[in-house]
Amino acid sequence: MTQSLLQDIKVTKTENSKISQVDFNNLSFGSTFSDHMLVCDYKNGTWEAPEVIPYQPISLDPSSKIFHYGQSIFEGMKAYKDENGDVFLFRPLDNFKRLNISAKRLAIPELPEAFFMEGLKTLLEVDKNWIPTTQGSSLYIRPFVFASGKGFHASPADAYKFIIATAPSGSYFAGKVKVLIEEKYSRSANGGVGYAKAGGNYAGQFYPTQLAVAKGYNQVIWTDDNKHEYIEEAGAMNIFVRINDSLLTAPTNDRILDGITRKSIIEIAKQEGINVEVRPISVTEVVNAAKNGSLKEMFGAGTAAVISPISVFGYQGTDYTLPELDNDYASSLKKRITDIQYNRSEDPFGWRIKL
C-alpha cells in the first residue's frame, strides 16, 4: 500500500465515548485512555491492513510468544494542539525509523512507513478532541509491536500485532529529581539491545530503581556495564551534564537509546551558541566538578518529561547538590523545544508536522 492508505483505513467508532468523564485540567501521565486505537496484524508473512477500532482489551492465547520470549518493542511520542486548535506532531518519522531499528534487532517484521504514518494520522483525526489544550498537557502516543504467534519453541513468532494507543496526559515529572549513580547493576551491555526500545530493557530497570527509591532517590543514573566508570542514561531518559558553560552528553552506542529529544537538544543548543560535547563522561569527572563548583547542571531528556532537571545526585554514600541558577540551560532548552512543539515559535529545523 502507498500513501493512499489513509482513505482505505477502516474506522469503527465507539458508541460510548468516555471523553465527558475526563477532567482535562487535572491529567496524570498515561493513565487515561482515548476512545480508539489502531490495530494491525502480521500473518502469513505480511502486514495486513490496519484499522481503527474502539479502545478495548485484547485476547491472546496463553502460548503467545510475547509471554515467553519477550518480543516486544514500543515508541513514545506526542500530539500537540495550538491556540487555534491545529494539531501537530514532533519528528514522527524519527519514531517510525527507530521502531523499525528496534524491530530488526528483536527479529520482528519491519512496518511499512504508510502503515505507521497514515494509520497514526487517521487515529488522531478520529480522536482529535482528546488532544488537551491545558498548559503543559499533550496527547501521549504509544505505538507498540509484540509477538502474538503461538508456541513454546524458543524462536521468533510467526504472527505479530501492531497497536497505537493514546492517552491525554499532563506532566511526567513534577519539579526536580534526586538521582543515585548506579555502581552494581547495568541497564544494558555491549552487543545487547540497549539501543532498541524493547520492553525488557525497562523491566530490568525496575528492581535497581526500587532499591534507589528505598534510599530516598527518585531515579538511577546508569553507568557502563564493564567497570561502572562512565554515566550513560538517567532512568528511562538520556542524560546531559553542564560543566562550566559546556553541555556534555554521552555518545550513542549499543547500550544507549538514540533519543529524539536528545538529538533535538543537541541541535538547539548548538544553534544557541552553547558548546556541546558528545563524548564519554566519567563518574570521576562529574564528582570532581561537583566538588570544585564547575558542575552547574544535570538533567534527563526524553519524550515524556522533555527535560527533567536533577537537583541532587548520590555516589558512594555522598550526596552532591547542584546549584540553583537563574540562567540554566534546562529551562531555556525546554522552552525552545516546547515552543516548537506547540506551534508557539518558528521551527527552523523542520521538525514540526501539521496534521
- 353 in any annotated domain: no
pTM of structure: 0.94
Bigger pLDDT: 79 or 170?
A: 79
Q: Cell triple for residue 331?
A: 529551562
Same domain, 84 and 137: yes
List phi, psi (to 5°) of 154: -75, 85
Same domain, 245 and 306: yes
**Alpha helical stretches, state H, the chain:** 5-8, 66-69, 92-105, 113-126, 199-214, 260-271, 283-292, 329-341
Q: Which helix (H) or strand (E) holds 74?
A: strand 72-74
Same domain, 97 and 214: no
Tell me the sheet residues that pair with 312. Answer: 178, 321
- 252 in any annotated domain: yes
- 328 in any annotated domain: yes
SS3 201: helix
Average pLDDT (332-344) is 97
C-beta of residue 117 within 8 angstroms of C-beta of residue 96: yes
pLDDT tens per residue, range 86-118: 999 999 999 999 999 999 999 999 999 999 999
Report the C-alpha gap between 130 and 115 in whole angstroms.
22
Q: Of 123, 145, 169, which residue constitutes the final position of a domain?
A: 169
| Domain with 273 in it | 177-341
- 295 in any annotated domain: yes
CATH number at residue 139: 3.30.470.10
Same domain, 162 and 276: no
- 349 in any annotated domain: no
Same domain, 205 and 333: yes
Q: Cell triple for residue 213?
A: 527509591
**Residues 52, 55, 61, 65, CA torsion sign:** positive
Report the C-alpha gap between 51 and 30 in whole angstroms.
23
Nearest to 55 by CA among 39, 75, 73, 31: 39
Same domain, 257 and 182: yes
The pLDDT mean for the chain works out to: 95
Q: What pLDDT is attached to residue 123?
A: 97
pLDDT tens per residue, range 219-244: 999 999 989 999 999 988 999 999 99
Percentage of the chain with pLDDT > 70? 97
Same domain, 109 and 93: yes
Distance of CA 93 to the CA centre of its chain: 14
1-4: long-range contacts at Cβ-Cβ below 8 A with a sequence spacing of 24 or more?
Answer: 1/49, 1/112, 1/114, 1/115, 2/114, 3/114, 3/118
CATH number at residue 229: 3.20.10.10
**Alpha helical stretches, state H, 129-249:** 199-214
Q: How many structural domains is the chain composed of?
A: 2
pLDDT range class, residue 174, cuts 50, 70, 90: low
Same domain, 28 and 153: yes
Same domain, 244 and 306: yes
pLDDT range class, residue 2, cuts 50, 70, 90: very low
Residues 6+ apart with CB under 8 A from 45: none
Q: Is 82 exposed, middle or buried (0-12, 13-18, 19+ CB in 10 A)?
A: middle
Lowest mean per-residue pLDDT among 167-181, 230-244, 261-275, 312-326:
167-181
Q: What pLDDT is attached to residue 7?
A: 60
Q: What pLDDT is attached to residue 1?
A: 37
Same domain, 116 and 249: no
- 347 in any annotated domain: no
- 355 in any annotated domain: no
Q: Of 119, 141, 169, which residue constitutes the final position of a domain?
A: 169
Q: Of 142, 169, 196, which residue constitutes the final position of a domain?
A: 169
Percent helix, percent strand, percent coil in the chain, to nearest 5: 25, 30, 45
List phi, psi (to 5°) of 160: -140, 160
pLDDT tens per residue, range 24-60: 999 999 999 999 999 999 999 999 999 999 999 999 9
DSSP assigned state of 26: S
Same domain, 39 and 112: yes
Same domain, 112 and 252: no
